[in-house]
């Protein structure tokens, strides 16, 4: 194996492998720092988020929210409403038009604005000497950022390859709705897609090994599970999967317990796998963990001192905004010689269910597992005036604080508008606020975010004894 050095005739200061959100972030950041950059893409430009992930899923989730809101409008006296799907193919077509518009506006049309970036179409990998190649030809680059993203995980179930199972990408391309569907996995992807298809009129069974959103606070997971069941989603918890097979137009899944589940379609939502397996990383002395994620240090650098990695391919914080954030750090550290560190302590996350789930910082269980003494506050949404006015009190807010200092270290929200409130909690954690300081913060009345103020006050007060805006 050759040493990690490159010949002087190599022309690019940085090669970025992967043309998704992380890749574009790295390329643009490096170019703005004065580097000559090659952005290497293999397949559709834009990556997962705009093409088959965030954008198309949230567009369809919003569409079916309209259906549910119309059906639930009778919670207001004197008002009736109804809505239904009349042409799902047209709905999907509208979604696809949005995808194509954003792909052009945020990716394809962005490249000509950066003279220092050359887009290279091809398959990048390391040769057996650890040197970068594109389409098996040596490629001129001094340093490298790997940002190849991830793909849906295929559960290892006997028969799974023969039944035409959907994944989180192909499910969003369906132009005809099945009558019934099994969704395997109740993490954020499974929950979002199960509710999406159930609201569109599909009979959905949501099957998991660990329950609904197992990493969320138990109060939130339990409440959301109840709301999903109220919408007609069948929830099943199994210890494992024995086999799956097709019988005419029906798929039958057999659990290890012997229980069987049947539906027209099967959707796998059991996580994502880093796209690291085709790069010949070992030859470049780049390490991966047991799940295939590229191992990086706090500066996004791999074991190879000339290679950095960012985004889903590292297997951590698989959110598009964290991919872009990590890629920006990697690029600055690679081309500008900086030592910026990755910090996800106050990273907000969102599940676009309805009610939405959002969180930041440590859960109670995580804090206790780390040996920290904590106190918690749990506020049901029926104590929040906004929820009462909307006649929709589905939800709960939970805050976690250090027992002695009262400093906030975690927050989770389950609420119809929870996603738009979590950033306030993130800023509170970043600023090191105590729950007393958050409780004293001025917040507008009849907003969901006011629930954070009330939850903070709940540590030491009975908010039911307060008048509107008091305290």
Tens of pLDDT, residue by residue over 228-264, are 999 999 999 999 999 999 998 999 999 999 999 999 9
In a domain, 5, yes or no: no
Do 355 and 401 belong to one domain? Answer: yes
Do 31 and 148 belong to one domain? Answer: yes
pLDDT number for residue 291: 95
Residue of higher predicted confidence among 64 and 3: 64
CB-based contact 434:407 (threshold 8 Å) = yes
**Residue 2 C-alpha from the chain's centroid:** 39
pLDDT number for residue 467: 74
Do 408 and 265 belong to one domain? Answer: no
C-alpha 8/C-alpha 82 separation (Å) is 69
What separation in angstroms does the CA of 462 have from each of 75, 135, 327, 367, 435? 28, 66, 45, 25, 14
Q: Kindly give, in sequence order, each residue whose CB lies less than 8 Å from that of residue 414, ignoring residues fewer than 6 positions away.
A: 220, 223, 224, 355, 356, 357, 381, 394, 395, 396, 397
Do 402 and 382 belong to one domain? Answer: yes
pLDDT number for residue 471: 56
Q: What is the mean pLDDT of the chain?
A: 95
Q: Is 267 left (phi over 0), alpha (psi -120 to 50) or beta?
A: beta
In a domain, 283, yes or no: yes
Q: Residue 58 belongs to what domain range? A: 12-152+274-335
pLDDT number for residue 463: 87
Arithmetic mean of pLDDT, 16-45: 97
Angle (deg, nearest 10), helices 21-32 and 320-335: 30
Query: What's the half-sphere exposure (Cβ side, CA atoms, 13 Å) at 258?
Result: 0
- How many structural domains is the chain composed of? 3
pLDDT in tens, 389-400: 999 999 999 999
Backbone angles phi, psi at 314, to 5 degrees: -85, -10
Q: What is the pTM of this model?
A: 0.94
C-alpha 432/C-alpha 450 separation (Å) is 19
CB-based contact 322:314 (threshold 8 Å) = no
Residue of higher predicted confidence among 7 and 29: 29
Do 359 and 460 belong to one domain? Answer: yes
C-alpha 169/C-alpha 57 separation (Å) is 9
Do 17 and 144 belong to one domain? Answer: yes
**Any alpha helices (H) in 13-148, and if so which ranges?**
21-32, 47-52, 54-71, 88-103
Q: What is the CATH number of the domain that holds 207?
A: 3.50.50.60
Arithmetic mean of pLDDT, 360-377: 98
pLDDT number for residue 468: 74
Instruction: Return the CA Rg of the chain.
Output: 24
pLDDT number for residue 470: 55
In a domain, 357, yes or no: yes
pLDDT number for residue 313: 98
pLDDT in tens, 162-184: 999 999 999 999 999 999 999 99
Name the domain boundary from 213, 240, 270: 270
End-to-end CA distance of the chain: 69
C-alpha 294/C-alpha 286 separation (Å) is 7
pLDDT at 6 over 70: no
Please name the residue that has the structure tokens 């029906």: 250
Name the domain boundary from 335, 366, 384: 335
Do 362 and 309 belong to one domain? Answer: no
DSSP class per residue in 67-97: HHHHHTGGGSTT-------S-HHHHHHHHHH
């Amino acid at each position: 194996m050759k040493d990690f050095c490159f010949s002087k005739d190599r022309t690019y200061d940085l090669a970025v492998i992967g043309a998704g959100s992380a890749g574009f972030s790295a390329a643009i950041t490096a170019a703005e720092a004065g580097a000559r950059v090659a952005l290497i893409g293999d397949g559709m430009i834009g990556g997962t988020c705009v093409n088959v992930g965030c954008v198309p899923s949230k567009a369809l989730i919003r569409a079916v929210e309209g259906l549910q809101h119309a059906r639930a409008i009778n919670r207001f006296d004197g008002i009736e409403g109804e809505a239904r799907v009349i042409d799902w193919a047209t709905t999907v077509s509208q979604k696809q038009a949005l995808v194509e518009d954003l792909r052009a506006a945020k990716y394809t049309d962005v490249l000509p604005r950066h003279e220092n970036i050359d887009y290279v179409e091809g398959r990048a990998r390391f040769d057996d000497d650890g040197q970068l190649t594109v389409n098996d030809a040596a490629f001129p680059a001094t340093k490298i950022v790997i940002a190849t993203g991830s793909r849906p995980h295929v559960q290892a179930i006997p028969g799974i390859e023969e039944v035409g199972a959907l994944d989180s990408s192909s499910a969003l391309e369906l132009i005809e709705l099945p009558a019934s569907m099994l969704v395997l996995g109740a993490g954020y992807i499974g929950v979002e897609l199960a509710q999406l298809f159930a609201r569109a009129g599909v009979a959905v069974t949501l099957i998991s090994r660990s329950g609904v959103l197992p990493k969320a606070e138990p109060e939130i997971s339990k409440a959301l599970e109840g709301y999903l069941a109220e919408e007609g989603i069948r929830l099943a918890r199994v210890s494992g999967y024995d086999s799956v097979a097709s019988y005419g137009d029906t798929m039958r899944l057999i659990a290890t317990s012997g229980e069987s589940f049947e539906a027209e379609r099967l959707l796998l939502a059991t996580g994502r796998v880093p796209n690291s397996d085709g790069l010949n990383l070992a030859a470049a002395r780049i390490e991966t963990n047991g799940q295939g994620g590229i191992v990086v240090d706090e500066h996004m650098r791999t074991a190879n001192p000339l290679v950095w990695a960012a985004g889903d391919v590292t297997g951590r914080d698989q959110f598009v905004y964290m991919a872009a954030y990590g890629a920006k750090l990697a690029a600055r550290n690679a081309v500008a010689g900086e030592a910026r560190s990755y910090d996800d302590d106050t990273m907000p996350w969102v599940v676009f269910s309805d009610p939405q789930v959002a969180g930041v910082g440590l859960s109670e269980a995580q804090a206790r597992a780390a040996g920290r003494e904590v106190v918690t506050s749990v506020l049901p949404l029926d104590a929040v005036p906004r929820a009462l006015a909307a006649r929709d009190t589905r939800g709960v807010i939970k805050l976690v604080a250090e027992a002695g200092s009262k400093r906030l270290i975690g927050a989770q929200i389950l609420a119809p508008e929870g996603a738009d409130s979590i950033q306030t909690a993130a800023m509170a954690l970043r600023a090191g606020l105590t729950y007393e300081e958050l409780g004293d913060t001025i917040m507008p009345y009849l907003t969901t975010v006011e629930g954070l103020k009330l939850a903070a006050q709940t540590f030491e007060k009975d908010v039911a004894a307060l008048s509107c805006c008091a305290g």
